[in-house]
Amino acid sequence: MKPITVNTLLKLTILSVLLLASFTATAEKGEWYVAPSVAYTDDDGDRLIDDSVAGLQVQVGRSISKHFSLEGLLGYHDIDGFPGQKHLELGFNAVGNLWPDKRFSPYFIGGVGYLSADVGLPDFGGLPAAGTSESNPTGTAGLGLRARLGDGPWSLRAEWRVRRTFDSDTSLTDQVASVGLQYSFGGGSDSTPVIPLVDDAVVAPADADNDGVPDDQDKCPGTPAGAVVDATGCVPDSDGDGVTDDRDKCPGTASGVAVDTVGCEKISFENVQFDTESAALDATAQRKLDEIAAVLERNSDVEVVIEGHADSRGPEDYNMRLSVKRAEAVRGYLSQRGVDASRMSVRGLGESQPVASNDTAAGQARNRRVELRATGR
């Protein structure tokens, strides 16, 4: 066959790279890599070369999927003991990665190419003259191992392959072993974190109610879905009133204040007592109403119904009017203490609803009263 010069090999190398780019342009975006290495070739014995020889090679490739890549190869070595004798190799290979996400990834390689080999040897009778070379197609297949160096783009790469050279007269089989570095760029797969082995994987602790707190730390198992919990797995009670925040309709209740089931202050008012036939507020009544005004100020959403009462002495219509005056007196005092009048309603019930017997003075005193009831909550 017609010899292939070094210039021709370089042109073929460029053509192979362009061909590689055309294959990968339509493929899933992958990383490029370049892998220079030292290659050690054990030539076929029929080449009449007894010594195995060392040389250099470089592989340039691109991933077309997670497990496969295509690459071009250019190799060169001198023949030890035969000055001026050299081999130039051009290859186009497919690479299959077995465990691409692991730190150590075995791979297989196979492809085709050309080998330009000097066949003329000085002072060897029967052989072509020195400087004579010929080029023949080749096929290659082998195995390799890539080892990541940390989480960066560098890897160690070791490879062994068999190269078969075909010509019209005979076929020669060489073995090529190489060790070198690989630098990846463009796709970033070499920086992909190494997936840990199953034995090293962290198993998430059990969390039966899915509140984000493991069962062995959860002091409130069975929390309703969607509830916000603290570090102990419980719904917090920010104001410390005994009602959790998700049920508390009155957040920020002052410390020590008694609350109801929805976290609001329990409101109950003492009755305001009156003297016989009087609607005047004595000092005791005023102290009670001062306390009631403070409660209403803390609970601005509460309205109050003020009901006046009387004992049974005197005409019924008189007692009705007296009960209304007593209720209005209470409303007037609370209004003076800052309670909005719109929050208060009054009515008189006369002697119709006694809380004690009107046959005794003590009973009559209890019936002369004003009752206050909280509403609106």
At residue 119, the pLDDT reads 54
β-strands 53-63, 171-185: how paired? unpaired
Q: What is the pTM of this model?
A: 0.43
Q: Which helix (H) or strand (E) holds 288?
A: helix 283-298
Burial class (CB in 10 A: 0-12, 13-18, 19+), 79: buried
Provide the 3-class DSSP secondary structure of residue 139.
Answer: strand
Give the model's confidence band at 29: pLDDT under 50 very low, under 70 low, under 90 confident, else very high.
Answer: low
Query: What is the side-by-side strand order in the sheet with 303-308?
Result: 272-273, 369-375, 303-308, 344-348
Q: What is the spatial distance between Cα 104 and Cα 359, in angstroms, rounded to a whole number? A: 104
Indicate if the alpha-carbon torsion angle 194, 199, 201, 202 is positive or negative: negative
* Residue 171 β-bridge partners: 166
Q: Which CATH number fits domain 6-195: 3.30.560.10, 1.20.120.1200, 2.40.160.20, 3.40.190.10?
A: 2.40.160.20
Name the percent of the chain lying above pLDDT 70: 78
At residue 222, the pLDDT reads 82
Tokens, residue 85: 């004798």
Residue 8 has pLDDT above 60, yes or no: no
Q: What is the spatial distance between Cα 5 and Cα 187, in angstroms, rounded to a whole number? A: 35
Range of 44-48, 129-133, 329-333 with top mean pLDDT: 329-333
More confident residue, 137 or 7: 137
Residue 10 has pLDDT above 50, yes or no: no
At residue 250, the pLDDT reads 84
Query: How far is Cα of residue 121 from the mean position of the Cα atoms in its chain?
Result: 68
At residue 193, the pLDDT reads 53
Q: What is the spatial distance between Cα 161 and Cα 42, in angstroms, rounded to a whole number? A: 11
Q: What is the spatial distance between Cα 59 and Cα 157, in angstroms, rounded to a whole number? A: 11
Provide the 3-class DSSP secondary structure of residue 129.
Answer: coil
Q: Which residues contact 202 (CB under 8 A, 6 or more apart)?
A: none
What does DSSP assign to residue 202?
Answer: P
Q: What is the pLDDT of residues 351-363, one digit of tens each?
A: 999 999 999 999 9
Smallest CA-to-CA distance from 235 within 267, 263, 205 is with 263
* pLDDT average, residue stretch 139-165: 92
Residue 130 has pLDDT above 70, yes or no: no
Burial class (CB in 10 A: 0-12, 13-18, 19+), 165: buried
Where in the sequence of the chain do the CATH 3.30.1330.60 domains occur? 272-375
Q: What is the pLDDT of residues 186-242, one digit of tens each?
A: 764 444 455 555 555 667 788 888 888 898 888 888 888 888 888 888 888 888 888
Q: What is the spatial distance between Cα 291 and Cα 287, in angstroms, rounded to a whole number? A: 7
Indicate if the alpha-carbon torsion angle 176, 182, 184, 189 is positive or negative: positive
Q: Which helix (H) or strand (E) holds 305?
A: strand 303-308
The answer to whether 64 and 74 have CB atoms below 8 angstroms apart is no
Q: What is the pLDDT of residues 172-196, one digit of tens each?
A: 888 999 999 999 987 644 444 555 5
Q: What is the spatial distance between Cα 104 and Cα 155, in angstroms, rounded to a whole number? A: 10
Q: What distances in angstroms separate CA 223 from CA 51, 226, 320, 337, one per listed residue?
A: 78, 9, 56, 45
Q: What is the pLDDT of residues 246-287, one digit of tens each?
A: 888 888 888 888 888 778 888 888 999 999 999 999 999 999
Per the prediction, the chain carries an average pLDDT of: 82
At residue 191, the pLDDT reads 45
| The residue to which tokens 């019924």 are assigned | 316
* pLDDT average, residue stretch 145-168: 89
Give φ, ψ of 172 to 5 degrees: -115, 145
N- to C-terminal Cα separation, the chain: 104
Give the model's confidence band at 6: pLDDT under 50 very low, under 70 low, under 90 confident, else very high.
Answer: very low
* pLDDT average, residue stretch 119-124: 51
Where in the sequence of the chain do the CATH 2.40.160.20 domains occur? 6-195
More confident residue, 78 or 40: 40
At residue 115, the pLDDT reads 84
Q: Which helix (H) or strand (E) holds 318?
A: helix 316-336
Give φ, ψ of 136 to 5 degrees: -140, 150
* Residue 63 β-bridge partners: 69
Whether domain 272-375 has CATH 3.30.1330.60: yes
